[in-house]
């Protein structure tokens, strides 16, 4: 007897979900990886370049299709930035323009043609799926109450009210137009219902999750102190959201009053602080690779979360729980989580944080262990991604939307780690290496190159104000210096808009074979198509 094919679901994101390295991206891959136990899942996302494999298989039933943003869209996106002052936030442009671009519509239609359901993660691709996926069941999966979240982000911009109102109308249209809204917390469900007057029966709280099964839980009493100079090592990990940046500013303010505490600030939230003069006991890394992040999670004594704004659930708190870190947090920092002060976390505020950290330092290891174990038990009980997926499965079955069966013998992690070997080969030849770009990607690239034994000479940057300075002891050179002294070296371009740098390199006598791309701070990711990247380099730089 033949096995019937799995039913299909297509998910559309307006942003690039690679690499899976922070809360929003983990929330995307976490749910759909679990849901692939029942359905074939196609995830569509957008990036600036066509540098990915056409189809990226996470497992047999979960595939990612990464689409290059049309050049027309990038022009309109840049016009939006100039008009508003907003930077690197293409949410509103995605809503405005994708639904009128035939190539995008046709591609989404083709990928989703056999799908029973099409989901917009965030409301900004609703108008696109409405046009491209006629006759399909359309859902909205909420990751933040976007009106509240963007209103906070746009605070201070000259046209804040107009931008916030546009997001309000976008999310309202989406909530009204889809047949179901899936939220990540009950508080978000209540807020959406009130804000947009949506029937409660249409809103389903599926919550969120964390992939704790692939993480090593370590009790506080078992953690190894790697810095004898300080009694306490405290971690804050975040992307560069405005609310997180304010939290970093608070940490810097209190650091001098807590000289026995080492504050480690990880992630892109620290990018704007790296070159500032900071208290001795504050370390800011900027973006780092997963291996280094895990080391900090394993060795820190506690996590500090001074967030006072935003929406949704802070996935980072769940990550702290998974690694056994006691969490000291504001009430808002643990929003959406049904946890108790003194039970699963310790409550603090900007007024009491200094005394709260002193008090925590005085607690014995048994107390810290109990706090960590309570939080870990709560995580396993309430925030397994399978729980969220099963709520969607139940919704489909209860509503008799269509018949389906569980996928047999599914392995949820089957990624084929394809490595780009050409860079390693060149490094083995002993060539000098320069990194073009001193931002977050450049710093991550430096860490990755050092790890594989590259002979890194330093950085190159177009910004004159950076010349003569250094990052982690590596000098920043002018472009003229590089073109005079580095034409026989390897140059790794570590910026988002790398094509502009390739054009600058072209015609300078540098072999295309010595030019490499480190996109998103990654050297050897499984999802890049090295052939496509080489074609871009060869076309722009020349053989």
The tokens describing 211, both together, are 């992939």
- Contact present, 73 and 91 (Cβ < 8 Å): no
Contact 512, 535 (CB under 8 A): no
Mean pLDDT score of the chain = 88
Starting at the edge strand found earlier in the chain, the sheet holding 470-471 runs 470-471, 474-477, 455-460, 432-436, 490-493, 515-517
Answer left, alpha or beta for residue 400, where phi above 0 means left and psi between -120 and 50 means alpha. Answer: left
Count of H helices and E strands in the chain?
19, 20
Return the pLDDT at 500: 87
Given this model, what pLDDT does residue 225 score? 74
DSSP state string for 333-395? GGTT----BTTTBEE--TTTHHHHHHHHHHS-HHHHHHHHHHHHHHHHHH--HHHHHHHHHHH
Residue 193's closest CA among 206, 177, 208, 204?
204
Classify residue 532 as exposed, middle or buried by CB count within 10 Å of its CB (0-12, 13-18, 19+). middle
What pLDDT, on the 0 to 100 scale, is given for residue 272? Answer: 84
* Structural domains of the chain in order of their starting residue, each with its CATH number: 8-209+384-398 (3.40.50.2000), 213-382 (3.40.50.2000), 421-541 (3.40.50.720)
Task: Report which of 245, 248, 282 is spatially closest to residue 263, judged by C-alpha positions.
Answer: 282
Dist. CA 49–CA 34, nearest whole Å = 29
Q: Which of 207, 180, 167, 2 lies closest to 86, judged by CA?
A: 167
Q: Phi, psi (5° rounding) for residue 236?
A: -130, 125
pLDDT tens across 198-257, in order?
999 999 999 999 988 888 999 999 987 777 789 999 999 988 788 889 999 999 999 999
Q: What is the pLDDT of residue 410?
A: 61
pLDDT for the residue numbered 21: 67
The residue ranges of the chain whose pLDDT is under 70 are 1-4, 21-23, 310-311, 408-428, 520-526, 543
């Amino acid at each position: 007897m033949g096995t019937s094919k799995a039913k299909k679901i297509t998910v559309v994101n307006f942003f690039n979900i690679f690499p899976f390295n922070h809360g929003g991206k983990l929330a995307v891959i976490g749910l759909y990886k679990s849901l692939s136990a029942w359905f074939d899942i196609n995830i569509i996302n957008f990036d600036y370049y066509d540098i990915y494999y056409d189809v990226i298989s996470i497992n047999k039933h979960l595939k990612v299709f990464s689409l290059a943003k049309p050049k027309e869209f990038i022009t309109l996106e840049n016009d939006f930035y100039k008009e508003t002052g907003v930077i690197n936030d293409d949410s509103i442009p995605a809503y405005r323009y994708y639904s009128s671009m035939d190539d995008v519509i046709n591609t989404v239609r083709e990928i989703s043609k056999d799908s029973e359901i099409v989901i917009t993660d965030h409301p900004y691709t609703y108008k696109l799926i409405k046009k491209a996926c006629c006759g399909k069941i359309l859902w909205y999966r909420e990751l933040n109450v976007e009106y509240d979240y963007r209103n906070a982000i746009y605070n201070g911009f000259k046209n804040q009210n107009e931008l916030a109102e546009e997001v309000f109308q976008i999310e309202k249209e989406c909530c009204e137009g889809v047949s179901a809204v899936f939220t990540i917390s009950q508080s978000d469900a209540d807020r959406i219902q009130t804000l947009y007057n949506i029937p409660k029966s249409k809103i389903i709280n599926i919550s969120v999750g964390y992939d704790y099964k692939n993480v090593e839980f370590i009790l506080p009493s078992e953690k190894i102190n790697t810095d004898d100079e300080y009694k306490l090592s405290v971690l804050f990990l975040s992307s560069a959201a405005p609310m997180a940046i304010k939290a970093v500013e608070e940490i810097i303010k209190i650091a001098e009053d807590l000289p026995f505490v080492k504050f480690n600030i990880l992630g892109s939230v620290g990018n704007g602080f790296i070159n500032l003069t900071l208290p001795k006991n504050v370390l800011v890394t900027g973006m780092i690779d997963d291996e280094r992040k895990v080391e900090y999670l394993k060795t820190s004594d506690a996590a500090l979360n001074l967030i006072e704004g935003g929406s949704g659930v802070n996935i980072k708190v769940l990550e702290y729980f998974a690694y056994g870190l006691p969490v000291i947090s504001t009430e808002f920092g643990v929003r959406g989580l049904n946890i108790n002060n003194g039970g699963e976390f310790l409550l603090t505020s900007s007024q009491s944080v200094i005394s709260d950290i002193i008090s925590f330092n005085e607690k014995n290891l048994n107390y810290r262990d109990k706090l960590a174990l309570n939080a870990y038990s709560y995580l396993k009980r309430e925030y397994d991604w399978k729980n969220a997926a099963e709520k969607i499965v139940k919704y489909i079955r209860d509503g008799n939307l269509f018949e389906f069966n569980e996928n047999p013998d599914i392995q949820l992690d089957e990624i084929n780690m394809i490595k780009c070997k050409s860079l390693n080969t060149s490094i083995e030849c002993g060539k000098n290496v320069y990194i073009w770009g001193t931002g977050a990607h450049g710093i991550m690239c430096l860490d990755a190159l050092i790890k594989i034994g590259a002979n890194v000479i330093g950085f190159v940057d177009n910004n004159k104000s950076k010349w003569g300075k250094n990052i982690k002891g590596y000098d920043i050179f002018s472009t003229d210096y590089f073109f005079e002294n580095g034409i026989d070296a390897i140059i790794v371009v570590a910026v988002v808009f790398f094509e502009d740098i390739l054009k600058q390199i072209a015609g300078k006598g540098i072999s295309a074979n010595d030019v490499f791309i480190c996109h998103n701070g990654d050297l050897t990711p499984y999802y890049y198509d090295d052939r496509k990247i080489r074609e871009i380099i060869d076309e722009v730089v020349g053989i």
